[in-house]
Chain A
Amino acid sequence: MKISSNTLRTFTTLHTWVGLVAGFALFVAFYAGAITIFHHDLQAWQSPHGIHATSQSLDDAQRLLDETLARHPEARKHVGMVFPGDEYPITATYWSDANGKWHYATTDRPEGLDEMPGGALSELVNALHYSLGIPVAGTYLMGIVSLLYGLALISGVVIHLPKLVEDLFALRPGRNLKRMWQDAHNVIGVLSLPMHIMFAVTGAMLCLVMIAMLALNPLIYRNQLMTAVGPAMDTAPVIAPAGREQAIGSLAMWRERSIAIAREQGIEAFEPAYLKLANAGDANATVEITGESSGALGPLGSIAMNANTGEKIATQLPGGRDANHATLSSAYALHFGEYGNAWVQWLYFVLGLGGAFLFYSGNLLWIEARRKRRQAEQGRAQLWMARATVGVCIGVCVAISVAFIATQLLQLPALSGIALGFGVNVACFTAWALCALWAALRPPIRAAHELLWAASITTALIPFAHGIVTGAWWWTSAAAGHWALFAIDAGAIAMAVGFAWLARVTARRMRSGEANSVWALAPVAVTARVEAPQP
């Protein structure tokens, strides 16, 4: 395909600058996001009970619901709850008080908590993914990053378009290292392009939906959007309380009824995941059950029924729902990889790591394109770019592994004085800051080599911390059939091997790589040799 040189030049500049601005944040988002794919498995992994953790029963959940409604009158108006099961081993209720503040309760803590219990590590990794761990503003920042990411994708494809087909499977190793990095960057970018486009769009949507709706409301929705959204997105219309008292039905009845209603609509396997109960104790109490149906792209569907009688009010199930619910359910499922089976999650994990590589290699290409080939001394911008790339990108890999280890160690009785969430966050961000500082002080190639070893060692320690603290060594997990726990420990070992391999490759480059580069070991010595022949 022929593209004018003017267009190519403009889009190359655009690609370079949006890549520079968004690349670091995207590396963190993709590395943390690849791990967040296993969000639910992580919650089991960080549980102190190890392989002895058992899913709670529906009876446990019923007791919690009864107690929540009895103890907290605010919850009778509106309360949410997760069904105990594979997704959430421990059930919990949640409701908001008159001030809009959320409260949570579990069977261990029926009096109520201010934050969702038991998710310190998975919440931290998730927060790094969608906000870099920055409260409030971080989400909007990542929304803007998603838009820049979209521009980087469009401009990247345009630049590459003239050679896209002929170079697709070309990976040319050899003396021209820039050629090889460019080939790797292009092939991963092109092959995972559909996934990247999907993430750029759904990422922007998830982060900026409120702002976009506020801005679009007067422009295209005649200021009626905010009143229309509720009725459009609710499964059933809101029903006012009747003012007559009536005892509510049981969780077991709701579960049975929702499965039966789904079957009536041709859905063979409906697995209730969570519920929303409104006006408990009233004759018009309603319950909305959300659950997964296998074999649908947007697997989450919902069923609304009278909470006392189980009479069906409305449904939004795969195969029979309106455009809003079908689109939103699919967009969510596509972003979070929550469709298909476990293979889809592993595919997302691999594509996520591939995405992280894309942004890392982009930074390397920026440095390489500006390399001064005939002198040892390189520009300051290139030097600091190398330091920032090493410190931020390899640093976050170390920091996340440190957070995994800290999560286990802080559950030791000896360290129980430190609040888990606080301790894990401090460990993570301190490790990240130290890595960045290290990269700022050392020659870039040494910093890369050392931090890769740090990443390898900390990642390799993850299964040991897990085994020592909870007794769930990977072989006992496997023998007990807890494949999620086994997969996280085994995955950590595989990642540690990967980091060690990268560290060895980096060491080879340190010994025998191009001397005139920011990645050269000792520019001082080379400078001296170049200056020597002066008369």
Chain B
Amino acid sequence: MWARAFAGIVPGFLLSAGLVGLFTWALPGPWQGTIVAGVIAFFIVWMAVMAASFQFANGKRAWAWLSALAAISLGALWLLQWLRWIG
């Protein structure tokens, strides 16, 4: 239980940031226009990710999956930002 809880808190935090970042930066218009909506959405997404992390069979899987997904989402966000395809 605790391992899955912390998976939701730590890599879950990074994954939520990545998802919110991808969505708000991919919207048309400058990213500055979605600051408030992004911060509010972040809390919703993080709560959902924390709850969902308890659906993994055990803590090890939760950490592995959430870390991998966090790395993919943040990696994709940073790559797209660096390529200036979104922004």
Interface 1/0s, chain B 7-31, versus A by CB < 8 A? Answer: 0000001100110110011000001
The reply on A231 being an interface residue by CB < 8 A is yes
Q: Are A154 and B48 in contact (CB under 8 A)?
A: yes
Q: Are A212 and B51 in contact (CB under 8 A)?
A: no
Q: Within the complex, what minimum Cβ distance (angstroms) separates B18 from chain A?
A: 7
The reply on B83 being an interface residue by CB < 8 A is no
The reply on B42 being an interface residue by CB < 8 A is yes
Q: Are A324 and B47 in contact (CB under 8 A)?
A: no
The reply on B50 being an interface residue by CB < 8 A is yes
List chain A residues, Cβ under 8 A from B46: 147
Q: Are B47 and A10 in contact (CB under 8 A)?
A: no
List chain A residues, Cβ under 8 A from B54: 10-11, 14
The reply on A204 being an interface residue by CB < 8 A is yes
Q: Are B17 and A323 in contact (CB under 8 A)?
A: no
Whether A204 contacts B43 in the complex (CB less than 8 A), given A232-B33, A323-B33, A324-B37, comes out as yes
Q: Are A221 and B31 in contact (CB under 8 A)?
A: yes
CA distance A255 to B77 in the complex (A): 46
Q: Are A324 and B33 in contact (CB under 8 A)?
A: yes
List chain B residues, Cβ under 8 A from A191: none
From B33, which residue of chain A is reached at the shortest CB distance? Answer: A323
The reply on B66 being an interface residue by CB < 8 A is no
The reply on B39 being an interface residue by CB < 8 A is yes
List chain B residues, Cβ under 8 A from A150: 43, 47
Q: State the majority secondary structure of interface residues on A.
A: helix
List chain B residues, Cβ under 8 A from A155: 51
Within 8 A of A (CB), among B66-87: 74, 77, 81
The reply on B64 being an interface residue by CB < 8 A is no
Q: Are B35 and A151 in contact (CB under 8 A)?
A: no
Q: Are A147 and B34 in contact (CB under 8 A)?
A: no
Q: Are A328 and B36 in contact (CB under 8 A)?
A: yes
Q: Are A232 and B47 in contact (CB under 8 A)?
A: no
Number of residue pairs across A and B with beta carbons under 8 Å? 94
Within 8 A of B (CB), among A193-241: 200-202, 204-205, 208-209, 212-213, 215-216, 219-222, 225, 228-229, 231-233
Q: Are A232 and B32 in contact (CB under 8 A)?
A: yes
CA distance A228 to B39 in the complex (A): 14
Q: Are A216 and B42 in contact (CB under 8 A)?
A: yes
Q: Are A220 and B47 in contact (CB under 8 A)?
A: no
List chain A residues, Cβ under 8 A from B55: 7, 10
CA distance A204 to B50 in the complex (A): 14
CA distance A150 to B34 in the complex (A): 23
Question: How many of A's residues come within 8 Å of B, CB to CB?
Answer: 39
List chain A residues, Cβ under 8 A from B42: 212, 216
One of B18, B24, B39, B47 near A147 (C-beta < 8 A): B47
The reply on A476 being an interface residue by CB < 8 A is no
Q: Within the complex, what minimum Cβ distance (angstroms) separates B27 from chain A?
A: 9
Q: Within the complex, what minimum Cβ distance (angstroms) separates B34 from chain A?
A: 6
Q: Are A220 and B21 in contact (CB under 8 A)?
A: yes
CA distance A462 to B25 in the complex (A): 53
CA distance A327 to B86 in the complex (A): 22
List chain A residues, Cβ under 8 A from B21: 216, 219-221
The reply on A527 being an interface residue by CB < 8 A is no
Q: Within the complex, what minimum Cβ distance (angstroms) separates B73 from chain A?
A: 10
Q: Within the complex, what minimum Cβ distance (angstroms) separates A100 from chain B?
A: 24
Q: Are A216 and B33 in contact (CB under 8 A)?
A: no
Q: Within the complex, what minimum Cβ distance (angstroms) separates A511 from chain B?
A: 41
List chain A residues, Cβ under 8 A from B74: 219-220
Q: Within the complex, what minimum Cβ distance (angstroms) separates B16 from chain A?
A: 9
List chain B residues, Cβ under 8 A from A201: 40, 43-44, 47
One of A10, A216, A325 near B39 (C-beta < 8 A): A216
The reply on A13 being an interface residue by CB < 8 A is yes
The reply on A322 being an interface residue by CB < 8 A is yes
From B74, which residue of chain A is reached at the shortest CB distance? Answer: A219
The reply on A34 being an interface residue by CB < 8 A is no
CA distance A258 to B46 in the complex (A): 40
Q: Are B43 and A147 in contact (CB under 8 A)?
A: yes
One of A7, A154, A200, A228 near B32 (C-beta < 8 A): A228
List chain A residues, Cβ under 8 A from B31: 221
What are 22 sample pairs from A and B whose C-beta atoms fall under 8 A apart? A10-B54, A10-B55, A14-B54, A147-B47, A154-B47, A201-B40, A201-B47, A204-B47, A212-B39, A215-B17, A216-B17, A216-B20, A220-B18, A220-B77, A221-B31, A231-B32, A323-B34, A324-B36, A324-B37, A327-B36, A327-B37, A331-B36
Interface residues of A (CB under 8 A from B): 7, 10-11, 13-14, 147, 150-151, 154-155, 158, 200-202, 204-205, 208-209, 212-213, 215-216, 219-222, 225, 228-229, 231-233, 322-325, 327-328, 331
The 10 closest A-B pairs by CB, nearest first: A220-B21, A150-B47, A154-B51, A219-B17, A327-B36, A324-B36, A204-B43, A328-B36, A228-B32, A327-B37
Give 8 A-B pairs besides A10-B55, A220-B21 with Cβ atoms closer than 8 angstroms: A10-B1, A11-B54, A151-B50, A154-B47, A201-B40, A212-B42, A215-B13, A220-B20
